[in-house]
């Protein structure tokens, strides 16, 4: 009988998932371990054999083969003793267990007791990334992480507060806490165990599970804390409440959050793997979904919306697009889209028009679709908002898009410039830039967004790989952009977007008028000092 047990391994300072495939077959007694094991791993045969017998279980008679996958990576150390033992007991019918979301790591003594292993922290991170929900490890292993592990975790996540739990999982029994105040890199060796410098559990101030957010904030302020762990009745870690979250909430009262103080999150889907992607996103807590494609006016998007409505009714908000005319909008509105994106080829990284010969000027598309939206509302009483997607380079373009009828805006290029964008910040030709590429580019590898019922790859590109000028922090720039929009609205004598759309005057201008719009016929004074 074949049984698979999830485990973890170490490659340098990084963890990765390992599967112990334990096969028990008839034949002459034999016990082999394959998958590039080193001497310590091969010696697991004797430790596992003795541990099973000394715990009162019969060691199975037959041919036992254990493969540690992936077989192309060398396995070292004693961390695979426990998963091998569990696999053999399960394959021989002595252990009934079937949880695909748990993993085992640990060294066995000959008596069957567990001994701690090193490198638990990077393995725990790998477990989280692999979707492992429960990690069984020796009780003493979690605190055996070192300062080097903490520094690696900080570099990877950007977070300086690290909870130390009994089983190295996010919800394990709380053993201590490490913050940047607990260590000094210049004065401590990086191999010092976490248990020697962490703040132990007995010195931590915690809050019970029933604590409200207001009560948690009061505890933080009364005790001058930066972080408050919230634990259950068994002292298992449930949440963290941070002082900075309170401060940021007060500083940014307009942040989009739900009733549980969580940021509202949108996610892109496509018309290819929606049956798998949508349930996963809904389960993860996505607040709104958007079909990301240049083929908005298509039966594929209707099928995607039909699936969502059949499975979730109106509880899941989904947008569709992109379209550029009345017919496309009405098709998606009738299909049940909660909003519709407008624009084909107008984005700064979009080359759909020159590649496929379809698309339309963003202003023309937006004005026509806005009229179709209002027409549809008069006919049905259903208002389907529209999003202007593309054509926005300068801040005043936002105001123009709103005046032309957009309910909200897609600002890919705008947000790509900021620190908060997940792309790399680079120095190119003496200036700082941020990476920015289209979802229709080869770099994105998002072939699923172009579902035409054919082959499953990207036949040609509809986007480019590029850079945009680095612009600093999101908060400062968004604030400035909003001031400009509000100022223009005041100039138009309006105080809200519906009035702007009703009263704004759009005028076709000449090339001379564009020149007049900027500075001209003057010599700019330099302000950089000198003469």
CATH number of this structure's domain 2-199: 3.30.230.10
- Identify the pLDDT of residue 366: 96
pLDDT in tens, 52-70: 999 888 998 889 999 999 9
- Identify the pLDDT of residue 456: 54
Rounded mean pLDDT of the chain? 87
Residue with more model confidence, 125 or 305: 305
Reply yes or no on whether the pLDDT at 77 is more than 70: yes
- Identify the pLDDT of residue 530: 45
Residues 6+ positions from 124 with CB-CB distance below 8 Å: 15, 135, 168, 169
Whole-prediction pTM: 0.63
Residues 6+ positions from 15 with CB-CB distance below 8 Å: 8, 9, 119, 122, 123, 124, 125, 126, 127
- Identify the pLDDT of residue 531: 39
pLDDT in tens, 169-215: 788 889 999 998 999 988 898 888 888 899 999 999 999 999 988 89
Domain edges within the chain: 2-199, 266-514
pLDDT in tens, 91-100: 888 888 777 8
Reply yes or no on whether the pLDDT at 459 is more than 80: no
- Identify the pLDDT of residue 460: 64
Reply yes or no on whether the pLDDT at 240 is more than 60: yes
For residue 164, the SS3 value is strand
Is residue 217 reached through a cis peptide bond, with omega within 30 degrees of 0 on the bond before it? no
Q: Which residues are catalytic?
A: 350, 449
2-199 and 266-514, same CATH topology: no
Reply yes or no on whether the pLDDT at 48 is more than 90: yes
- Identify the pLDDT of residue 65: 93
**How confident is the model over 440-444, as a mean pLDDT?**
64
Homologous superfamily (CATH) for 266-514: Aldolase class I (3.20.20.70)
Q: Taking the chain, what is the end-to-end CA distance rounded to the nearest angstrom? A: 87
Taking alpha carbons only, the member of 408, 423, 395 closest to residue 342 is 408
% of the chain with per-residue pLDDT over 90: 51
Residue-wise burial string across 95-126, b where 16 or more C-beta atoms lie within 10 A, e elsewhere: eeeeeeebbbbbbbeeebebeebbbbbbbbbb
Residue with more model confidence, 254 or 86: 86
**How confident is the model over 33-51, as a mean pLDDT?**
91
pLDDT in tens, 107-153: 999 988 888 887 777 788 788 788 888 888 887 665 567 888 888 87
What is the separation of C-alpha 318 from the centre of its chain, rounded to a whole number of angstroms?
19
Q: In this structure, what token pair is assigned to residue 398?
A: 């936002």
Cα(484)–Cα(414) distance, integer angstroms: 15
Q: Quickly state the pLDDT bin for 326 (edges 50, 70, 90).
A: very high
* Contact assessment for residue 401 and residue 361, using Cβ atoms and an 8 Å cutoff: no
């Amino acid at each position: 009988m074949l049984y698979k047990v999830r485990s973890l391994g170490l490659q340098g300072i990084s963890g990765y998932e390992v599967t112990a495939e334990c096969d028990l077959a008839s034949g002459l007694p034999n016990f082999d371990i394959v998958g590039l094991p080193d001497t310590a791993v091969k010696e697991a045969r004797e430790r596992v054999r003795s541990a099973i017998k000394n715990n009162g279980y019969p060691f199975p008679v037959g041919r036992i083969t254990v493969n540690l996958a992936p077989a192309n990576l060398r396995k070292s150390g004693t961390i695979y003793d426990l998963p091998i033992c569990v696999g053999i007991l399960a394959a021989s019918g002595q252990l009934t267990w079937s949880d695909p979301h748990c993993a085992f790591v640990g060294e066995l003594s000959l008596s069957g007791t567990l001994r701690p292993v090193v490198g638990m922290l990077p393995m725990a991170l790998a477990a989280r990334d692999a979707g492992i929900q429960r990690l069984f490890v020796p009780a003493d292993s979690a605190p055996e992480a070192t300062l080097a592990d903490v520094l690696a975790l900080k570099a990877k996540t950007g977070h300086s507060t690290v909870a130390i739990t009994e089983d190295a999982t996010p919800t394990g029994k709380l053993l201590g806490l490490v913050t940047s105040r607990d260590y000094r890199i210049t004065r401590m060796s990086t191999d010092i165990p976490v248990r020697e410098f962490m703040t132990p559990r007995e010195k931590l101030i915690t809050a019970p599970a029933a604590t409200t957010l207001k009560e948690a904030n009061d505890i933080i302020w009364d005790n001058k804390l930066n972080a408050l762990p919230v634990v259950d009745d068994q002292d298992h870690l449930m949440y963290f409440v941070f002082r900075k979250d309170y401060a940021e909430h007060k500083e940014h009262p307009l942040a989009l959050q739900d009733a549980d103080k969580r940021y509202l999150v949108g996610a892109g889907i496509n018309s290819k793997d929606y049956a798998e992607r949508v349930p996963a996103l809904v389960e993860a807590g996505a607040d709104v979904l958007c079909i990301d494609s240049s083929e908005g006016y298509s039966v594929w998007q209707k099928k995607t919306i039909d699936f969502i409505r059949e499975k979730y009714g109106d509880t899941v908000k989904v947008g569709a697009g992109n379209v550029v005319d009345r017919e496309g909008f009405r098709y998606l509105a009738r299909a049940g889209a909660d909003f519709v994106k407008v624009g084909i080829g107008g984005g700064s990284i979009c080359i759909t028009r020159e590649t496929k010969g379809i698309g339309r000027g963003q202003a023309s598309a937006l004005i026509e679709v806005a009229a179709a939206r209002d027409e549809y509302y008069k006919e049905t009483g259903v208002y389907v908002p529209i999003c202007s997607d593309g054509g926005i380079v300068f801040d005043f373009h936002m105001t123009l898009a709103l005046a032309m009828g957009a309910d909200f805006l897609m600002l890919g290029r705008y947000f790509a410039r900021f620190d908060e964008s997940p792309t790399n910040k680079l120095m190119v030709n003496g200036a700082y830039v941020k990476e920015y590429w289209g979802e229709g580019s080869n770099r994105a590898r998002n072939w699923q967004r172009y579902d035409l019922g054919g082959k499953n790859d990207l036949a040609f590109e509809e986007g480019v790989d590029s850079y945009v000028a680095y612009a600093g922090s999101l908060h400062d720039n968004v604030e400035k952009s909003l001031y400009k929009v509000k100022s223009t609205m005041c100039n138009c004598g309006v105080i809200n977007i519906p009035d702007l759309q009703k009263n704004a005057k759009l005028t076709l201008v000449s090339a001379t008028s564009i020149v007049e719009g900027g500075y001209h016929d003057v010599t700019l004074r330099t302000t950089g000092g000198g003469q």
